[in-house]
Amino acid sequence: MKIRAITQSLSAAWAISPEAAEAYLPLVASFIKGNFQPFTSEGRSKEDSRIGIIGAGVTGAYFISTYGEASPPENAPENSVAIISMQDVITKYDQACGDSGINTKADLLLRADKNPNIKAHILLMDTPGGEAYAGMAMAEAVKSVGKPIVAFVDDLSASAGMMIASQADYIVANQELARVGSIGTFLTLADYKGYFEKEGIKIIEVYADASTDKNKPYRDAIDKGEFKLIKQDLNVLNDRFIQYIESGRSGKLKTGADDWGTGKVFFAREAVKTGLIDEIMPLESVIKSLLNS
């Protein structure tokens, strides 16, 4: 998991692989420089453009559209398997220029679970992770469904993606080179004061006399190079992350958290041996298996 601190306050926790997070640094830089131009609703791609390609045409597969507008859960035909896409970075809220957020996805999943035409669910996972609290919210939604649910790893399910996938009844990878894991917690601190000073902006903070602990973990890290308080917070979040994996994969894990809970990433064949996932098979086979169960 990752916590990203910006300016003088700790932001929400993140569970995302670092290489994926760093790919967004140019976007972050454009925000800071004031050059970012958000997409308008007219400029956003059609909501179905990123789903329905894998497994398209397979009898019984019903791809719920990204925002549930073009292909809502309620329109699923009889005896179908609902497929919800979990791609790219996982966020709590809908992205202005991208995928729907977990609030939307969880709602779509729960609506699908109420439709008697839908026999089972598949979460189509291809994600480096994302916001930890969003991951927890989706994990709870997955736990609450009454119908069989499979997490299908389409090449990658890391960090928050594994938190969510672990709560499914079964986890399947599409190929041996698919990767899962990155179960761990870290923090990236960014001190922008120097940048703003060069721009002629001096940041001055004034705290109330009683607010001695306000932003203290961040202030200690940035101003004093002391990370004790931040690590305390990270350890709490990391313990909860581990608990999700242990509870969701209870009875299936073949090794302990000292193996899979250190932040390592596993190829699918090795992940089967550790118990992080159950099997390797094509999506079409998963759909047929769910329809015949």
| Mean per-residue pLDDT over the chain, rounded | 85
- Bridge partners (DSSP) of residue 84 are 123
Contacts of 66 (CB under 8 A, 6+ apart): 47, 48, 50, 51, 85, 99, 100
- Residue 41: which pLDDT band, with cuts at 50, 70 and 90? very low
pTM, two decimals, is 0.83
Residue range 269-285: average pLDDT? 97
> Is the predicted pLDDT of residue 98 greater than 80, yes or no?
no
Q: How confident is the model at residue 22 (pLDDT cuts 50, 70, 90)?
A: low
Task: Report the range of poorest mean pLDDT among 37-51, 56-70, 77-91, 274-288.
Answer: 37-51
> By mean pLDDT, which of 27-36, 125-134, 247-256 is the weakest?
27-36
CATH of domain 2-187+229-292: 3.90.226.10
117 token code pair = 């035409």
Which pLDDT tens digit goes with each residue over 185-223?
A: 887 888 888 888 898 999 888 999 999 999 999 899 988
* pLDDT-above-70 percentage for the chain: 80
Q: How far are the Cα atoms of 19, 20, 98, 219 from residue 138, in angstroms, in the given order?
A: 23, 20, 18, 32
